[in-house]
């Protein structure tokens, strides 16, 4: 991938995060790709900054892509407390302890 045709917009901590964000960008009609997932096998051998998975977009879409990524990261939210008293990660829609829906706990 030529760096003249693509612009780096984000370093994901994992291939899962990179695939999720890349898919989100593509759903917004932004040409996006990620690379670096093959380096994940070098965890412990290379510095953490060298094994992050890079997300690349076309330069004319970089500003829009950055805004989408930033908005998505902000919407990721914070932990929520279920009515049963358990604390759940923001990505969980159901309580891990009792199975109650997140919306039922408000």
Query: Residue 48's pLDDT is what?
Result: 53
CA distance 86 to 65: 35
Residue 88: CB atoms within 10 A of its CB come to 18
pLDDT in tens, 28-51: 999 999 987 655 554 556 555 556
Angle, in degrees to the nearest 10, between helices 15-27 and 62-75 = 120
Q: Is it the case that residue 88 has pLDDT exceeding 70?
A: yes
pLDDT band at 68 (very low <50, low <70, confident <90, very high): very high
Average the pLDDT over each of 11-15, 17-21, 22-26, 27-31 and give the range with the smallest value: 11-15
Residue 59 tokens, joined:
């330069």
Alpha helices in 30-98 (DSSP H): 62-75
Among 92, 59, 72, 77, which residue's Cα sits nearest to residue 25?
72
């Amino acid at each position: 991938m030529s760096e003249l045709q693509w612009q780096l917009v984000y370093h994901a901590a994992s291939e899962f995060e990179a695939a999720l964000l890349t898919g989100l960008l593509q759903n917004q009609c932004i040409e996006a790709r990620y690379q670096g997932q093959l380096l994940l096998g070098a965890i412990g051998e290379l510095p953490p900054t060298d094994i992050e998975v890079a997300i690349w977009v076309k330069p004319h879409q970089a500003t829009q892509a950055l805004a989408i990524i930033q908005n998505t990261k902000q919407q990721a939210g914070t932990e929520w407390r279920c009515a049963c008293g358990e604390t759940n990660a923001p990505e969980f829609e159901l309580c891990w302890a009792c199975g109650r829906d997140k919306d039922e706990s408000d």
